[in-house]
C-alpha cells in the first residue's frame, strides 16, 4: 500500500519496474456489429464479487473529446486514500477513430484511456470511471470494459442514465434508489450532495454494488462527483 511523503520515491522506483499492466483482450479496429458482439462476450466475464481490500491508491479516469473533429485528451489521476493527495497524473492526447454510437462509448474512448493508464508509475487499487459499468443494455459499459482490461476493481459513476429506471430519492446526501432494467438491479441512483442531481453508480469489475456505493460516497468531498473522477475531469479538460 502506498504511504505518503518519505516512501513515495521508493514506491515510484519499484513501479518503474512494474508499470501498470494492461491486458490485451481484443483489437479496437472493429465494425459496429463486431463491437456489439465483443460486448456480449466480455459481459459474461465481468466479476460482480468484491475483491477490493483497503485501497491505498484510487484512480479516476475521464476523457474530453473535441466537438469539432476527433481530437481527445484522456486523463487518469491517482490519489492516495484517505489523504486525498494527488500522487500521479497520466495524460494522452490523440484522435478517436471509432464513431459516436450510443452504447459503444468504450470503443471510442477506451484506447486513449488505456494509453493514459499505461503511463502510470503507480498501480491503483481501485479505479473510478466517469461512465457506466454494467448499467448498460449489454451490461458492458466503459467502466466494465476498462475493468476487464485493467483486471482490477472498477466502479462506474455516470452523470446520466443509459438504461433502466429508478424510484424517486430524497434530497439528502447519501440517499439512493435502485436502478432496474428488465427486472434486474444494475446500479443505483445516488445523491452525493444535498440538493444536486444524483449520479448513477454501477459495478465495473471485481467489486459488488454495495461496495461500489460505499466507495463512491467515501470519495466524495462536497462535490457531486467523487474526487478521483472530478480531478480526472479537470485534467482531461486541461484545468489541472
Is 80 exceeded by the pLDDT of residue 113?
yes
Residue 69 confidence (pLDDT): 66
The mean of the pLDDT values for the chain is: 91
Other C-beta atoms lying within 10 Å of the C-beta of residue 17: 7
Is the separation of the CB atoms in 8 and 87 below 8 Å? yes
pLDDT on residue 24: 93
Other Cβ atoms within 10 Å of 103 Cβ, number: 18
pLDDT band of residue 21 (cuts 50, 70, 90) is: confident
In the chain, % of residues over pLDDT 90: 87
- Give me the sign of the Cα torsion angle 233, 18, 112, 90: positive
Summarize the confidence of residues 13-37 as an average pLDDT. 80
| pLDDT at residue 10 is higher than 50 | no
Give the residue among 94, 89, 84, 155 at the shortest CA–CA distance from 121: 89
Predicted confidence at residue 122, as pLDDT, reads 94
Q: What is the mean pLDDT of residues 96-122?
A: 95
- What is the mean pLDDT of the segment spanning 169-189? 97
Cα 192 from Cα 223, distance rounded (Å): 7
Cβ atoms < 10 Å from Cβ of 159:
14
Report pLDDT for 9. Answer: 31
Task: For residues 158-185, give the mean pLDDT.
Answer: 96
Whether the per-residue pLDDT at 40 is higher than 90: the answer is yes
In sequence order, the β-bridge partners of residue 154 are 127, 205
Instruction: Check residue 5 and give its pLDDT.
Output: 32
Return the pLDDT at 67: 75
Confidence of residue 224 (pLDDT cuts 50, 70, 90): very high
Contact 92, 112 (CB under 8 A): yes
In the chain, alpha helices (H): 8-17, 32-43, 105-117, 142-150, 209-218, 227-236
The domain at 51-236 falls in which architecture?
2-Layer Sandwich (3.30)
Amino acid at each position: 500500500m502506498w504511504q505518503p511523503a518519505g516512501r513515495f520515491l521508493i514506491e515510484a522506483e519499484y513501479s518503474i519496474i512494474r508499470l501498470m499492466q494492461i491486458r490485451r483482450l481484443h483489437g479496437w479496429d472493429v465494425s459496429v456489429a463486431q463491437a456489439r458482439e465483443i460486448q456480449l462476450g466480455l459481459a459474461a466475464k465481468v466479476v460482480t464479487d468484491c475483491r477490493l481490500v483497503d485501497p491505498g491508491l484510487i484512480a479516476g479516469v475521464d476523457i474530453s473529446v473535441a466537438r469539432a473533429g476527433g481530437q481527445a485528451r484522456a486523463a487518469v489521476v491517482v490519489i492516495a486514500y484517505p489523504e486525498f493527495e494527488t500522487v500521479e497524473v497520466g495524460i494522452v492526447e490523440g484522435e478517436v477513430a471509432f464513431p459516436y454510437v450510443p452504447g459503444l462509448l468504450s470503443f471510442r474512448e477506451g484506447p486513449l484511456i488505456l494509453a493514459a493508464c499505461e503511463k502510470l508509475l503507480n498501480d491503483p487499487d481501485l479505479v473510478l470511471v466517469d461512465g457506466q459499468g454494467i448499467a448498460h443494455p449489454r451490461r458492458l459499459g466503459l467502466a466494465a470494459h476498462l475493468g476487464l482490461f485493467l483486471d482490477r476493481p472498477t466502479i462506474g459513476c455516470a452523470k446520466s442514465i443509459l438504461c433502466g429506471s429508478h424510484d424517486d430519492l430524497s434530497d439528502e446526501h447519501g440517499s439512493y434508489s435502485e436502478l432496474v432494467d428488465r427486472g434486474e438491479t444494475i446500479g443505483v441512483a445516488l445523491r452525493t450532495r444535498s440538493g444536486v442531481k444524483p449520479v448513477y453508480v454501477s459495478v465495473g469489475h471485481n467489486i459488488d454494488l454495495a461496495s461500489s456505493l460505499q466507495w463512491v460516497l467515501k470519495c466524495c468531498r462536497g462535490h457531486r462527483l467523487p474526487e478521483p473522477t472530478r480531478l480526472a475531469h479537470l485534467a482531461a479538460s486541461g484545468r489541472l
